[in-house]
Structure 1
Amino acid sequence: MENNRSKEKAARYARVYNKILEMIQAGMYPEGSKLQSEPVLAEKMNVSRSTLRQALALLQEDGIIEARRGVGNFVRKTVDANATGLEKMENPMLKSCTEEISEKRIEVVPGISTQYTESIFKRKMPVVLAVHRFYCRDDVIHGYCFSHIASDCEYLNQFDLNDEQAFLEFLETRIYQYAHSRKCEIRVVGSTENLTDKKIQNEQGLYQMIRESIVDDGGRVIALNKFYIPIEKALIKVYSNHQGAH
């Protein structure tokens, strides 16, 4: 009997999942729109709040909706068929943060080389650039990146380092054009005092951290980036296909 009850319960929240999905696909809830409140949805579908929450949790896991604490559940933007993920050599923040980014800020801090930076770049240099990047929308910081940039990289000679916008454009796009390869390591990390000081909007105190090492065609590491995305706003995607598939 207990097994039958479990199957019944699973069937109920599966039906609710399918019903909400149908409503989204039918355009009743467009991309970016807010679902009705949980009490209203539960009553409309004639199920308990517990059953509704299980269905909503599955919709969140499948990337169909997102929960914003204290605000409600919203329909995510659909992934474009031609979209790319981390398999393409581009800024991983813009590929993995579900929040729309409308503004980027940068702070550049020249510093002396240390044992740590020598271990990163596998060589000595008099100066290493430390760079802070903030990814924002409506003056709210939704993501952050800390970078070490090799100062002996000849590409830096192409613009004035005092021109922050030019340097930002280099780090965001052009550096990937000069790159021969990169390595991304992905892990979940907890908040630290340093991250808290950056005032990144974060509901759960956890971040998806992407550690990106960029190598040029001469085999030199030219940049090490650490991107921090609040876990509730992180969605890592990698697309692949069979070579020669028709």
Structure 2
Amino acid sequence: MDNTSAFAPKYRRIADALRREIGDGVLGPGQRIPTEPELAERFNVSLPTVRQALSVLRSEGLLESRHGIGSFVKETNRLQRSGWRHYGRARVDQKLLTPHLRHEIVAAGVEPVPSHVADLFPEGTTHVVTRRRHLFDKATGRPEEIGASYIPMEFAAGTYLEEPSVVPKALFLCIEELSGKQYARAQDRLIARLATADELTVLELAPGSPVVHVVHCVTAEDGTVLEVAENVWPAERTVIVNEYPITTA
């Protein structure tokens, strides 16, 4: 559980924990979640607190109640995207950010900086190490994401990141090791648009389908750009969840 959720009400912490398990595939679609007494014992809280947490998840469309049976993860074609939580989880288990999906690296190597992300790199940057990936549902083989990561040459050139193979743990952990710097700050640009012809083909979408295009720029504490990543998700299959503290300053 991250430091932010440690200060949240108990019911929110329970909802956060179960939401993460649903998002990471620990609790799959159609699966019955533990009973209310079991959850109360697991989290050391009262039954009303558990019920309040489950109510939050039902309102988000993640759970459904079946009278006399229990609560189940709702069957849905949408994937919940809440990337910032995954950094903390990946640091602990040393796995990929999205271990519930099958990763395929379709290209890796030195490329010119794409024009649509060039403004995120220091002036004068002309080339980066690029890793392009397609992600698939492990059970059905359905394509779920088109992604790419652009990494400064000073950290990645001549390293294993130029090889078109899946790294053994989250890419950000590899970049931290190679750069000697830690991910400290991120900026996300979310763009809703129609899919390109190539995206329609790769994601197996109908003509005119919308996508969510996310550009994710991460810097170290000293402002050094460590990675610019982008992901394209089918809009009809995507739910984006952002949860963050609201400061009073």
TM-score, length-scaled by structure 1: 0.52
Structure-2 residue corresponding to 1:104: 103
CA distance in 2, matches of 1:87, 1:160: 23
Structure-2 residue corresponding to 1:63: 61
Alpha-carbon shift at residue 87 of structure 1 (Å): 4.4
CA distance in 2, matches of 1:84, 1:133: 17
Q: Report which stretch shifted further, 212-221 or 125-134.
A: 125-134
- Larger-Rg structure: 1
Amino acid paired to 1:200: L
Structure-2 residue corresponding to 1:145: 147
Structure-2 residue corresponding to 1:43: none
CA distance in 2, matches of 1:124, 1:144: 27
Cα RMSD after superposing both structures: 4.2
CA distance in 2, matches of 1:208, 1:231: 5
Alpha-carbon shift at residue 143 of structure 1 (Å): 0.9
Instruction: Return 5+ residue gaps in structure 1 as ranges.
Output: 1-29, 35-59, 67-73, 78-82, 92-98
Structure-2 residue corresponding to 1:85: 82
Alpha-carbon shift at residue 225 of structure 1 (Å): 1.3
Q: For 2:204, what is the secondary structure of its paired residue?
A: coil
Q: 1:202 aligns with which of 201, 205, 216?
A: 205
Q: For 1:135, what is the secondary structure of its paired residue?
A: strand
* Contact 2:113 2:127 (8 Å CA) reproduced: yes
Alpha-carbon shift at residue 214 of structure 1 (Å): 1.0
Matches within 5 A, 1:217-232: 217-232=221-236
CA distance in 1, matches of 2:161, 2:190: 33
1:165 corresponds to 2:166: yes
CA distance in 1, matches of 2:59, 2:153: 42
Amino acid paired to 1:150: P
| CA separation of 1:139 and 1:64: change in aligned 2, threshold 3 A | closer
CA distance in 2, matches of 1:122, 1:209: 22
* Contact 1:101 1:135 (8 Å CA) reproduced: no
Amino acid paired to 2:196: T
Q: For 1:178, what is the secondary structure of its paired residue?
A: coil
TM-score, length-scaled by structure 2: 0.52
Structure-2 residue corresponding to 1:216: 220
| CA separation of 1:180 and 1:33: change in aligned 2, threshold 3 A | closer
Structure-2 residue corresponding to 1:131: 131
Aligned length, in residue pairs: 169
* Contact 2:109 2:163 (8 Å CA) reproduced: no
CA distance in 1, matches of 2:99, 2:161: 29
1:181 corresponds to 2:185: yes
CA distance in 1, matches of 2:219, 2:85: 15
